[in-house]
Structure 1
Amino acid sequence: MSAMDKFLNSKFIDQYGAALAPSFDFVNTSASAELDLPIPPEAVSAGVQQLVADLGHTLAGVSPDQLELAVITKKTMMSWENATGIEITPTPQGSHVAIFMQNMPGRPKALLDGKKNKKMAQKLADQIQASAHGA
């Protein structure tokens, strides 16, 4: 873990970071992205779980059928953690993947978080698609 990662994940940042940052509670930070893959849902789920681990995010929960995942994205210099839900639905052609993302509860919001989260959700969709086609 780099020195910056240690600092970002320190108790100091968790305790004081939110107090030092402005918060725009009226901002809607929710975003989503969707994609279709010609791969069975079970294989998509396994690939998503591996991708989440590779990216350093936290897999917070998985449904018994492994088709619904709760992910907490890692904190970065430009972003607090995001609560992310990933739903994988079987289709006749393979799988439909829906990604839902928003700021973690209790974290400050910024004016452009909704726009940023939309880009992050689409980037995660693109990463899932790239990893599925590379497998």
Structure 2
Amino acid sequence: MTAIDKILSSAFVDTYSAALAPSFDFLDTSAGAEVEVPGAPAAVSAAIQKLLTDQGHTVIGASEDQLELAVVTRKTMLSWELATGIEIAPTPHGSHVSVFVQNMPGRPKALLDGKKNKKAAQKLAEQIRTAV
């Protein structure tokens, strides 16, 4: 674990940084992206879960059929964790993947979070397309 990762995962950062940052609680930080991919939903779900694990994100919940995933992205130098939902639906040509992203509850919000979260959702959707 690098020194930066140690600092980011420290109890000090989790406890005090939100109090020091301005928060714009009135902002809607939710965003989404969708992508069509070839492959059966079960295979797509397995590829997505491997991608998420390889990137250091945490799958905190999944439906019984593994077609709905609740994910918490990893914290970085420039952003807090993001609450992410992924839904996989079968289509005649493969699978339809929907990615939903928003700020984690209890974390401060910034003016450009909605725009940043939209880019994060689109980036994850493209990574899923590549991984599948």
Q: TM-score, normalised by structure 1?
A: 0.97
Cα separation, 1, equivalents of 2:79 and 2:19: 15
- Partner of 2:122, secondary structure, is helix
Give the match for residue 72 of structure 1. 72
Gaps of 5+ in 1: none
Give the match for residue 99 of structure 1. 99
Deviation (angstroms), 1:101: 0.4
Give the match for residue 46 of structure 2. 46
Cα separation, 2, equivalents of 1:38 and 1:80: 32
Q: Which runs of 4+ in 1 moved over 4 A?
A: none
Cα separation, 2, equivalents of 1:57 and 1:37: 21
Q: TM-score, normalised by structure 2?
A: 0.99
Give the match for residue 37 of structure 2. 37
Cα separation, 2, equivalents of 1:27 and 1:2: 33
Amino acid at match of 2:24: F
Deviation (angstroms), 1:127: 0.5
Equivalences, count: 132
Give the match for residue 116 of structure 1. 116
- Partner of 1:110, secondary structure, is coil
Deviation (angstroms), 1:11: 0.1
Deviation (angstroms), 1:38: 1.3
Cα separation, 2, equivalents of 1:35 and 1:129: 7
> Is residue 4 from structure 1 mapped to residue 4 from structure 2 by the alignment?
yes
- Partner of 2:47, secondary structure, is helix
Cα separation, 1, equivalents of 2:92 and 2:128: 19
Q: Per-residue CA shift, 1:62-120, capped at 9, x if unaligned?
A: 11000000000011111111000000000111100000000000000000000000000
Gaps of 5+ in 2: none
Amino acid at match of 1:106: G
